Amino acid sequence: MKRTPPTLRRLRTEQPNDAALNLDQKSSLEIAALINAEDVTVALAVTRTLPQIARAIDLVAAALRRGGRLIYVGAGTSGRIAALDAVECPPTFNTDPRSVQFIIAGGNKALASASEISEDDSQAGRDEMSRRKPTKNDVVLGIASSGRTPFTLAALELARQRGARTIALTCNPNSPLERAAHLSIVTQVGPEVLAGSSRMKAGTAHKMVLNMISTAAMTRLGYVYGNLMVNVAPKNEKLMQRAIAILERATGATREAATHALKASGNLTPVALVMLAANVSRAEAMAALKKAQSHVRQAIALAN
């Protein structure tokens, strides 16, 4: 029988949860209630890391502002959570797909099927990161609940060697990943209901953190107006209706005026917003957005 490495066995996320020791003897309602009670603690664990999350947001916003990238890297659950956040940025903020990327151990096929053996491959981590050609303009964020995944650790170390700013997102303090990064975010969620199953509280915590980082960074860049996703690209009927509603809400325009402005803008929501808010032409709105580096509120001020 293969032994669990001592360094892994000692991690809090690998310990048995005392409240769940007789999990297999509980009713369905009792199991659901126990998992729910444990999930309540996740937000509190994230709360304790808010200063570090804020620093990460600033690093990412600065990188994207100068034309750099945010590159997530992880294995298993961590890699899939990274992929989810990365692929949601273009439809939400109309960003270039290259600006927020993900690397997952085992490649894209690992998104649909488990590839546990890949997470132990340090050389693959280095190779995958090397293919992305990280530079000082980029931020690389490595995710590993244990903080010791060889693939992720090797990728992060190479990125740092190439000059990228690096962030570690883990659930266990004093880990190799934390020591390898410029900045660490350690969400100490404690033992899982299902011992060692980091797809549970650990995964939830890390999904919350990535949501905060990407959403706040895009907000700082001006891709959000108020709390409206004004960079949304209306590529289907649902998104077309959403864009019109955003324009109505942001400017007080009638539905007819919002629809007309969106059409006149070439279905570019931020352009339509500047046109309506500043009462300018499409060309003037586009010029203001270019000068403001796509920061919508600043573009409105410039156009006015």
Q: List, by residue number, the catalytic residues.
A: 88, 119
Side chain identity at residue 115, one-letter code: S
Which of 220-245 are b and which e, b meaning 16 or more Cβ less than 10 Å from the residue's Cβ? Answer: bbbbbbeebbbbbbbeeeebbebbbe
Identify whether the C-beta of residue 156 lies closer than 8 Å to the C-beta of residue 181: yes
Strand 165-170 to strand 100-104: parallel, antiparallel, or no bridges (unpaired)? unpaired
3-class DSSP assignment, residue 71: strand
HSE at residue 30, side-chain half, CA atoms within 13 A, is 9
Structure tokens at 138: 């980029």
Report the 10 Å Cβ neighbour count for 194.
16
Identify whether the C-beta of residue 59 lies closer than 8 Å to the C-beta of residue 183: yes
Report the 10 Å Cβ neighbour count for 116.
11
Identify whether the C-beta of residue 269 lies closer than 8 Å to the C-beta of residue 230: yes
Identify whether the C-beta of residue 152 lies closer than 8 Å to the C-beta of residue 181: no
